Structures are given as C-alpha cells and as structure tokens.
Amino acid sequence: MQNSAPIRVKVWRGDAAGGAFAAFDVPQQPAQTVLDVVTWIQRHAEASLSYRFACRVGMCGSCAMMVNGVPRWTCRTHVNKVMQDNRLTIEPLRNLPIIKDLVCDMSQFFEKWKRAEGHFSGQGSRDQAVAAISPSEPARRAANAAIECINCAICYAACDVVAWNPDYLGPAALNRAWSLQNDSRDRRHDARLQAVSSDGGCLSCHSQQGCATYCPNELNPTASIAGLKKMATGSFIGKKYRQRHG
Amino acid sequence: MVELRLYLAQRISAAIMAPLVLVHLGLMIYAIQGGLSAEEILARTRGSLLWGSFYGLFVLAVATHAAIGLRNILSEWLQLRGPLLSLICWLFGLGLWALGWRAVAAVVGTQ
Amino acid sequence: MKAHRRQPLYLAFLLHRLSGLGLALFLPLHFYVLGTALAGADAFDAALAWTQGPLIKIVEFGLVFLLAVHFFGGLRLLALENLPWSNHHKNYAALAVAVAFFVACGFLLRAV
C-alpha cells in the first residue's frame, strides 16, 4: 500500500526544560525504517536534530524511541507497518529525563540496574574446573530465558508502574536479577533477593505485561518478576517458620 | 520490609476471601429471586453462629484487602506518600471494619 | 487511552483496579443499609425499599459483575504470583470477564 506522498512526521524537540513538536515532510522510500526517517530529517531538513543510534541492525538497542506512542527500536520498525494516514510521531523514550530532542538520559535506568544487584558475583578462579551446569537444568533454563536483555530501556518506557512510582526498579533490572538468582555460580543470592524485594522492588509489579508486549527480544520481565515474588515470599515465610520452630 | 508485609496481607486476605466470595455470590443469586425482604434475610441470619462467623471473617478480610488496595491507588495515581497516605488508609480500613461488624451485629444479633 | 496501554493485560489490570475501587466505595453504603436492622426489621425493610426499582436492579447487576470480575481476575493473579508461569494470561483474563458477565446475567435474570 505504498504511495508516493511524503510522510508527515512530527518530531519532539527540546530539552529537560521543555519543548514542542516540529513537523517535517519526508519522502517515502522502499523498505524505509523509522531510523531512516530520522536520519533523513537530520541530513536534509534540520541539522541540529539530536538522536542516538549505533548498529542500525537491531542488535544494540541504542535507537529506541517512542513511535506513535509505542516504544520501539527505530532501526527495526518499518514505516509502512506503523504509519497511520501517512503520519508518524516520534518522541524520546518515555519515563526517562530528556537531554535533547530524541536523546534521553539513561542514568536512572542503570542506577536501578545496580540497585537491583544486576551483576554477577562469583567466587571461582581460573584454578578451578569450569562449573558443570547442564543447559537443561530448570534453573539454567530460567536464566537463559531472561538473559538476552541488551538494556535498550523499551520495557522501562512501556511500564506504567515505572511512570507512577519513581522508586520502582523496573522490568529490566528485575529481569536481570532473576537471571542471576538462577545462576548457581553466583554467591549473592540472599543480598540480591533483599535488594529486589524491598520498597520499589518486584512486589510493586502489577503484571500489566507491557514490558513483554514491547520487548524486541521477546523477553518476559513479568514472568521473571513473578519468579522473584515467589522467591521473596517463600524466603520470608521460611524465615518466619524457622524463627518460630528453631 | 513494610512492602512485603502489605503484599502478603493483601494476598492472604484475598485467598481467605476466595471461598467467602463464592458463597456470597451464590447466596445473592439464590436470595434475590422474589425480591429482598428484611424477613427473608433476618430469618437466615438471626442468631446464626455460622453466618455471624462467616461475615465476621469476611469483613475483617475485606477491610484489610481494600485498605491496602486503596493504598496502591492513592500512591500510584495521586502520588500520596508518607504519614498522610498511611493515615487515610488506616482510617478507611478501620472504618470498614467497624461499619462491617456493626452490620454483622445488626443482622445476627437477637433482639 | 495512550497507545502503549492498548493491550489486553493492561485492560485487565485497569478492570481489576477499577472494580476493586468501585467495590471499596460501595461497601460503606452496603454496611450502612444492613446496619439499619439494628433498629428492627421494619427499619431494615424501609432501607431495602430503596432497592426495588428497575434502575437499581441494573446497578446491582453492575455490582455483581464488579465482584465477580474482581474475584476471577484475583484468582488469575494469585495463580500468576504463586503457581508456575503460564503464557496464557491473555486467555485467562478474557475468560474471567466472560464468566463474570455470565454470573452477573444469572443474577439479573433471577432479579427481574
């Protein structure tokens, strides 16, 4: 259903203090992606437009933006799949402070990653044998199902609990924590469980599955968070039982 | 770990209420035919230890469950926090509990 | 509704939250009406007289639906949070709405 009319594109421009939409008419091209559209605008219409990209082949997640109100990798979003009446609206990712135009400040995303103890802590060394973990073990399968996250923040932008609760760690950080809780080589399971089940942790998730709906890697942070909820409540009840029965 | 305790209280009160709600829904559908009258209702509940305990437990569970649910709504949608949030939710929960047990006493108590 | 929210499980969340809120706001009225029995069966009957009209029957249908949908949706959430993960939650959410509507219709048919 391609026609030769130009695409009417609204692009958000501004910074942390505020901004507005700027309109551009962009020529249509075969197999055009939204990243192609943004690039065309910066090269031919408005040189001062700021935006992020890197690999442009759907591997790095740098080009994530809101396209017609939905968070997407712009390099993997074909214009003819999302255009409505020859119109496109492009904005920076939701739920993150804006630096300039389509570039948002990812610091809080990574701060929460750290707060959730989203890093591996082992105690092995090169002198020990490689850990013998079968890929078909349930814990390893759970970790593998969650492990392909590339920190693009699309789930963070999609999540309404992130929007409503500034303390909420968010789907990506919690998803990573879950993959590490299932890594039998990791030695900080207790500390990490504490970190993800306190205020703003996994218990705040309302299972809306916006994260799973929009994750381009088809991960399901809601499923990971449900796993963390079970771990947290199980651990709490277990502790109370042991306290009472010695 | 306030959040964990609230989370558990809400889920546990929900689990307690699951069979109670089922019975209550069934009872409403049964009882509504031919209209509701004080006589019909009170004939079932007056002096009944069974219904007194049933609804007494129901009220306690719903007061807990609704107050915590309200807390989530007030904090997420109205951005309320801190002592004000807790005060409103405690007042609501205790109010429901008091009104609810008064209602139970009203239909179970003999005159 | 914002574009990113137009997906089934956000709607399920919204329905669960709004049905809970509706029920929570209804309960004080419900307890008040029942409490009139403290003044005797006649006082209780007088309060119940307000619930006779056809409009009220529709409101009661709505309330039964709210309770039923919150109940079935709540079962789905208890399963999600405590049982092994399922990828079928969109189906379960739809089923919850359907069964709740069926239950509410059962009530309405007996109420009229």
Q: Please provide the DSSP assignment of A139-181 as one string.
A: HHHHHHHHTT-----HHHHH-HHHHH-TT---HHHHHHHHHHH
Give the pLDDT of residue A2.
53
Domains: count for chain B: 1
The whole-number average pLDDT for the span B4-9 is 96
C-beta atoms surrounding A67 within 10 Å: 23
- Structural domains of chain A, ranges and CATH numbers in brackets: 7-104 (3.10.20.30), 107-245 (1.10.1060.10)
Q: Which residue has the tokens 């049933």?
A: B54
What is the C-alpha separation between A96 and A110, in angstroms, rounded? 11
Kindly give, in sequence order, each residue whose CB lies less than 8 Å from that of residue C112, ignoring residues fewer than 6 positions away.
C54, C57
pTM > 0.90: yes
Identify the band that residue A175 occupies on the pLDDT scale cut at 50, 70 and 90: very high
| CB-based contact B3 A232, cutoff 8 Å | no
The whole-number average pLDDT for the span B7-16 is 98
The whole-number average pLDDT for the span A35-62 is 97
Give the pLDDT of residue A16.
94
Give the pLDDT of residue A221.
98
Domain of C75, in residue numbers:
3-111
> Of all residues in chain B, what percent carry a pLDDT higher than 70?
99
CB-nearest partner of C4 from A206, A207, A210: A210
What is the C-alpha separation between B14 and C75, in angstroms, rounded? 9
CATH number for the domain spanning C100: value is 1.20.1300.10
Give the pLDDT of residue A244.
87
- How big is chain B, counted in residues? 111
| CB-based contact A214 C4, cutoff 8 Å | yes
Q: Helical H runs in A71-220?
A: 79-82, 107-115, 138-146, 154-158, 160-164, 171-181, 189-196, 210-214
| CB-based contact B35 C17, cutoff 8 Å | no
Inform me whether the pLDDT recorded for B94 exceeds 70.
yes
Identify the band that residue A3 occupies on the pLDDT scale cut at 50, 70 and 90: low
- With an 8 Å Cβ cutoff, is B39 touching chain A? no
Give the pLDDT of residue A245.
86
Question: What is this model's ipTM?
Answer: 0.93
| CB-based contact B25 C34, cutoff 8 Å | no
Amino acid at C42: D
Please check whether residue B2 lies inside any domain of the structure: no
Burial class (CB in 10 A: 0-12, 13-18, 19+), A143: buried
Give the pLDDT of residue B27.
94
**Chain C residues close to A227, C-beta within 8 Å:** 85
**Closest to A180 measured CA to CA, from A117, A232, A246:** A117
Domains: count for chain C: 1
Dihedral (C-alpha) A79, A85, A88, A94: value to the nearest 10 degrees? -110
* Gap from A1 CA to chain B (nearest CA, Å): 42
Mean pLDDT of chain A: 96
Structure tokens at A243: 């306290």
pLDDT along chain C (112 residues), means of 10: 97 98 98 93 91 90 97 98 97 98 95 86
What is the C-alpha separation between C11 and C92, in angstroms, rounded? 13
* Gap from C18 CA to chain B (nearest CA, Å): 10
What is the C-alpha separation between A229 and B34, in angstroms, rounded? 47
Please check whether residue B78 lies inside any domain of the structure: yes
| CB-based contact C27 B96, cutoff 8 Å | yes
* Gap from A42 CA to chain C (nearest CA, Å): 26
Structure tokens at A213: 């709906």
**Chain A residues close to C2, C-beta within 8 Å:** 69
Please check whether residue B18 lies inside any domain of the structure: yes
Chains with 3 or more CB pairs under 8 A to chain C: A, B
CB-nearest partner of B42 from C41, C52, C60: C41
Domain of B86, in residue numbers:
12-24+41-108
Inform me whether the pLDDT recorded for A118 exceeds 60.
yes
Model pLDDT for residues A197-240, shown as the tens digit of each residue:
999 999 999 999 999 999 999 999 999 999 999 999 999 999 88
- With an 8 Å Cβ cutoff, is C9 touching chain A? yes
Give the pLDDT of residue B71.
98
